[in-house]
Each structure stands twice: as C-alpha cells, then as structure tokens.
Amino acid sequence: MIGMWTDLKQILLDATGLGPNALHVVLALLIFAVAFTILRRPALAFLTVVAFQFLNEGLDAYFDIASGQGFKLTEAITDTVLTLAAAGAAWVLTWLAVKLLELLRRP
C-alpha cells in the first residue's frame, strides 16, 4: 500500500513534468474547478479542496512514518499553504465573478 500511494504521486509528477509544489497548486485548482462545477458554491468547492488536502497529508504522514522516514512537518505545512492559497485565490476570483455577473444581469 505504501508503494502504491508514492507510485501514484510519482506517476503524476512524471506525467505532468511539474515539481511537487507546482503539482499541489495545479491539483488544488483542478479539484476546486470540478467541485465548483458540481456544487455551484465557491465556499463548498474550497472546503472540498481542504478535505482532499488533509486526506493527502494524512496519508503522506501515515506512509512516511510507516516507512521509517518520520513525519515531515515542514513539507506538510508547505504543501498545505500552497494548496489552500491556490484554492483560496480561486474562491475569491469565483466569488467576484459571480457578483459581477449578478450586477450585469440587473436591469
């Protein structure tokens, strides 16, 4: 199971050509976009990204500890800050776009 999780992450890194930090940003925006498309609520889309991020970091911590590497706190903080900053920016921009469309639709 440990190998499968790390292999999946490596496949994504290799397939995209991105570094781990950039991949966090791209996946945060992708998850936000899909969640917003389905849920139609920027706040719920943001919370979906938060849930995915905590799941990801929980699995990272579990597998790092299980493999004897120990918990990587600074990496977890960096990943979380980048992910939530990207999703937060998407939330604000989406909220502003919705408000602008509401203003333009008024008679």
- For 38-60, write each residue's pLDDT tens digit: 999 999 999 999 999 999 999 88
Q: How far apart are CA 47 and CA 52, in angstroms?
A: 9
pLDDT of residue 106: 84
Full residue range of the structural domain in which residue 15 is found:
2-105
d(CA 24, CA 29) in angstroms, rounded, equals 9
Count of the separate structural domains present in the chain:
1
Which residues are CB-neighbours of 10 under 8 A, at least 6 positions away? none
Mean pLDDT taken over the chain = 90
- Enter the pTM of the model: 0.86
Torsion angle in degrees (nearest 10) through CA of 13, 15, 16, 17:
70
